[in-house]
């Protein structure tokens, strides 16, 4: 058993998950693209207004699909934030591209749009943005820079589902966006994801790539009388059992997002004076952004203080965790030319960042306990 009483993350059923899964089994269709996959897709498509939504086995696989849609050739470059999960870079490296690491803004920890243009070489094909913690990147500037140089924008929207930038949903700015339904995200089916296709020219091919390079989707719609191998592809369809689980979560999106918003504000209000006194930086949400409330993080003044605070919380049964390590300094990142000093903000924040318990089932009393334990921390 974990020594922690208050978990950093704890996946919860929102209500109808098991009933939905039983219905999928009774219907006799538990492979991909059944009734529940269609319902998840329709819900996301209607809510977000994306051209198309394809459920996938993970966000990683959805990112790999965008690499295939870009038709990357060896030597092509894809600009990615160094401060992100491995898949943001690996999905493109896997398909032959060279990741070019961008630094992030010190306030939102999102890709620094002010330094983007200098990274766009004639070999650049795409820029991948991550809306860290669910707060939108500066999409106006990023889209303008990308358009001016003819590179595509891809949103790794693993944190951003139902967040907004200037009143518009995150995930609807790039040519495509990717979602994650991993158990650590706002909405989950254990492992799962989605590809939001916004670029109409990519729609038909995305469907084929997901179905092992076949036109099976068209066959099921009665548009062709048999299906066959028409392109490259792989198997990126989740089981309808997982979609059945996921639908129950997505249908509760208003309640889930309200709960997470309340938790976020609970931490922010409960820690504001403490953070000011300690020199800790609380998360920043610019006025033109509505967060998706994916997580609650703070930056301590030093790595030593961060580690001491983690130990202090652990001694009280509270699990807190750090987050990304700089991709440009990883073993793989260095093979693509990553060097110390290349992304100074990323290098500085990774050692000082702490995430507090944050999940759909976190009780208010437990959050109050975390805040109290934080406020009792005396470093040194």
Binding of residue 64 to ligand PLP (CB under 6 A): no
* C-beta of 127 vs 271, nearer to ligand PLP: 127
Stretch that binds ligand PLP, among 81-89, 94-102, 215-223, 261-269 (CB under 6 A): 81-89
Q: Collapse the DSSP code of 190 into the 3-class scheme (helix H, G, I; strand E, B; otherwise coil) and give the result.
A: coil
* C-beta of 67 vs 271, nearer to ligand PLP: 67
Tokens 């943001």 appear where? Answer: 88
Rounded CA gap, 112 and 130, in Å?
11
Judging by beta carbons within 10 Å of its beta carbon (0-12, 13-18, 19+), is residue 43 exposed, middle or buried?
middle
E runs forming strands in 68-208: 77-81, 98-102, 124-130, 152-156, 164-165, 168-169, 176-180, 193-197
Tell me the closest approach of the beta carbon of residue 88 to ligand PLP, in angstroms.
5
Stretch that binds ligand PLP, among 80-88, 135-143, 214-222, 237-245 (CB under 6 A): 80-88
Judging by beta carbons within 10 Å of its beta carbon (0-12, 13-18, 19+), is residue 160 exposed, middle or buried?
buried
* C-beta of 62 vs 275, nearer to ligand PLP: 62
Candidate list 159, 278, 297, 328; residue touching ligand PLP; CB under 6 A: 159
Stretch that binds ligand PLP, among 84-92, 201-209, 230-238, 249-257 (CB under 6 A): 84-92
* C-beta of 59 vs 353, nearer to ligand PLP: 59
* C-beta of 63 vs 362, nearer to ligand PLP: 63
Binding of residue 48 to ligand PLP (CB under 6 A): no
Stretch that binds ligand PLP, among 16-24, 26-34, 75-83, 155-163 (CB under 6 A): 155-163
Tokens for 310, please give them: 């983690």
Specify the length of the chain in residues. 380
Candidate list 39, 95, 125, 182; residue touching ligand PLP; CB under 6 A: 182
Cα Rg, the chain, nearest whole Å: 21
Tokens 């805040």 appear where? Answer: 371
Binding of residue 87 to ligand PLP (CB under 6 A): yes
* C-beta of 50 vs 271, nearer to ligand PLP: 50
Binding of residue 239 to ligand PLP (CB under 6 A): no
Among the listed residues 257, 298, 295, 291, the one whose alpha carbon sits nearest the alpha carbon of residue 275: 298
Tell me the closest approach of the beta carbon of residue 182 to ligand PLP, in angstroms.
4
Rounded CA gap, 92 and 115, in Å?
21
Binding of residue 85 to ligand PLP (CB under 6 A): yes
Judging by beta carbons within 10 Å of its beta carbon (0-12, 13-18, 19+), is residue 330 exposed, middle or buried?
middle
Binding of residue 130 to ligand PLP (CB under 6 A): yes
Candidate list 156, 215, 290, 347; residue touching ligand PLP; CB under 6 A: 156
Q: Collapse the DSSP code of 281 into the 3-class scheme (helix H, G, I; strand E, B; otherwise coil) and give the result.
A: strand
Rounded CA gap, 165 and 292, in Å?
10
Candidate list 193, 217, 238, 357; residue touching ligand PLP; CB under 6 A: 193
Candidate list 60, 108, 188, 281; residue touching ligand PLP; CB under 6 A: 60
* C-beta of 324 vs 373, nearer to ligand PLP: 324
Stretch that binds ligand PLP, among 25-33, 54-62, 258-266, 341-349 (CB under 6 A): 54-62
Query: How many chain residues interact with ligand PLP (CB under 6 A)?
Result: 14
Asked if 234 contacts 212 with a C-beta cutoff of 8 angstroms, the reply is yes
Tokens 């089994």 appear where? Answer: 25
Edge-first strand listing for the sheet containing 168-169: 168-169, 164-165, 289-290
Where on the chain is the footprint of ligand PLP (CB under 6 A)? 58-60, 84-85, 87-88, 130, 156, 158-159, 180, 182, 193
């Amino acid at each position: 058993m974990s020594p922690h009483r208050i978990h950093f993350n704890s996946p919860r059923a929102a209500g109808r998950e098991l009933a939905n899964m039983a219905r999928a089994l009774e219907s006799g269709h538990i492979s991909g693209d059944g009734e529940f996959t269609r319902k998840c897709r329709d819900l996301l498509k209607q809510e977000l207004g994306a051209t198309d939504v394809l459920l996938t086995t993970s966000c990683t696989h959805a990112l790999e699909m965008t690499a295939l849609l870009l038709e990357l050739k060896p030597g092509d470059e894809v600009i990615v934030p160094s401060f992100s999960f491995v898949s943001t870079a690996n999905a493109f490296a896997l398909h032959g591209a060279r990741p070019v690491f961008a630094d992030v803004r010190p306030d939102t920890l999102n890709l620094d749009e002010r330094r983007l243009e200098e990274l766009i070489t004639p070999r650049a094909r795409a820029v991948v943005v991550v809306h860290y913690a669910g707060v939108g990147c500066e999409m106006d500037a990023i889209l303008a820079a990308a358009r001016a140089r003819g590179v595509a924008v891809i949103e790794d929207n693993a944190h951003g589902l139902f967040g907004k930038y200037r009143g518009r949903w995150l995930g609807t700015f790039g040519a495509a966006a990717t979602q994650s339904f991993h158990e650590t995200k706002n909405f989950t089916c254990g492992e799962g994801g989605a590809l939001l296709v916004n670029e109409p020219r990519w729609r038909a091919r995305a469907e084929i790539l997901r179905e092992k390079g076949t036109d099976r989707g068209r066959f099921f719609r009665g548009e062709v009388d048999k299906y066959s191998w028409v392109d490259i592809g792989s198997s990126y369809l989740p089981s309808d059992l997982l979609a059945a689980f996921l639908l129950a979560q997505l249908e509760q999106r208003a309640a889930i997002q309200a709960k997470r918003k309340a938790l976020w504000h609970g931490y922010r209000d409960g820690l504001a004076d403490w953070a000011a006194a300690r020199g800790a930086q609380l998360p920043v949400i610019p006025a033109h952004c509505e967060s998706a409330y994916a997580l609650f993080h703070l930056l301590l003044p030093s790595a030593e203080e961060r580690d001491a605070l983690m130990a202090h919380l652990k001694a009280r049964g509270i699990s807190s965790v750090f987050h990304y390590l700089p991709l440009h300094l990883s073993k793989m990142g260095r093979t693509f030319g990553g060097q110390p000093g290349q992304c100074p903000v990323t290098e500085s924040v990774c050692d000082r960042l702490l995430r507090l318990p944050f999940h759909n089932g976190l009780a208010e009393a437990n959050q109050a306990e975390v805040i109290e334990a934080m406020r009792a921390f005396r470093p040194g």
